[in-house]
Amino acid sequence: MAKEDQITKWFAEQANADANAFPIGIGDDMAQVRAGDDGTVLITTDMLLDGVHFDLEQCTLEEACHKAMAASLSDCAAMATVPLCAVVAVSLPVNFGEDELKRIHAGIIDAGNRFGCELIGGDITKWKDVAQRFAVNVTMLSKPSGYHPPVRRSGAKDGDVVCVTGRLGGSIRGRHLHFTPRVAEALALTKAALVHAMIDVTDGLSVDLNRICKQSKVGAMLEMEQLPISDAARDTDDPYNAVFNDGEDFELLFTLSPAEYEKIRDLADVEVIRIGTVTDTMKIQALWEDGRIIDIMPDGFDHL
Q: Is 101 exposed, middle or buried (0-12, 13-18, 19+ CB in 10 A)?
A: middle
Report which secondary-structure segment, H or E, holds 231: helix 231-234
160: contact with a second copy by CB under 8 A: no
259: contact with a second copy by CB under 8 A: no
99: contact with a second copy by CB under 8 A: no
Residue 219 to residue 234: CA distance in whole angstroms: 27
In contact, 4 and 300? CB cutoff 8 Å: no
Span of 83-91, 147-155, 189-197, 258-266 interacting with a second copy by CB under 8 A:
83-91
132: contact with a second copy by CB under 8 A: yes
89: contact with a second copy by CB under 8 A: yes
94: contact with a second copy by CB under 8 A: no
| Minimum CB distance to a second copy smaller for 141 or for 296 | 141
| Minimum CB distance to a second copy smaller for 48 or for 212 | 48
Of 1, 47, 229, 267, the one binding a second copy (CB under 8 A) is: 47
Of 59, 110, 122, 263, the one binding a second copy (CB under 8 A) is: 122
49: contact with a second copy by CB under 8 A: yes
**CA-closest candidate to residue 40, choices 146, 168, 143:** 143
> What minimum distance in Å lies between the beta carbon of 187 and a second copy?
18
Count the residues of the shown chain that bind a second copy, applying the rule CB under 8 A: 67
In contact, 147 and 190? CB cutoff 8 Å: yes
84: contact with a second copy by CB under 8 A: yes
Crossing angle between the packed helical segments 183-192 and 61-78, to the nearest 10 degrees:
10
In contact, 151 and 199? CB cutoff 8 Å: no
62: contact with a second copy by CB under 8 A: no
* 3-state DSSP percent of the chain in helix, strand and coil, to 5: 30, 30, 40
Q: Is 16 exposed, middle or buried (0-12, 13-18, 19+ CB in 10 A)?
A: exposed
33: contact with a second copy by CB under 8 A: yes
Residue 35 to residue 156: CA distance in whole angstroms: 28
59: contact with a second copy by CB under 8 A: no
| Minimum CB distance to a second copy smaller for 119 or for 184 | 119
CA separation, residue 89 to residues 22, 46, 122, 206, 299 (Å)? 24, 10, 5, 31, 31
**Where does this chain bind a second copy (CB under 8 A)?**
4, 7-8, 11, 14-18, 21-22, 25-26, 30-31, 33-41, 43-49, 51-53, 84-85, 87-91, 98, 101, 105, 109, 118-129, 131-133, 135, 137, 139, 141, 143, 303-304
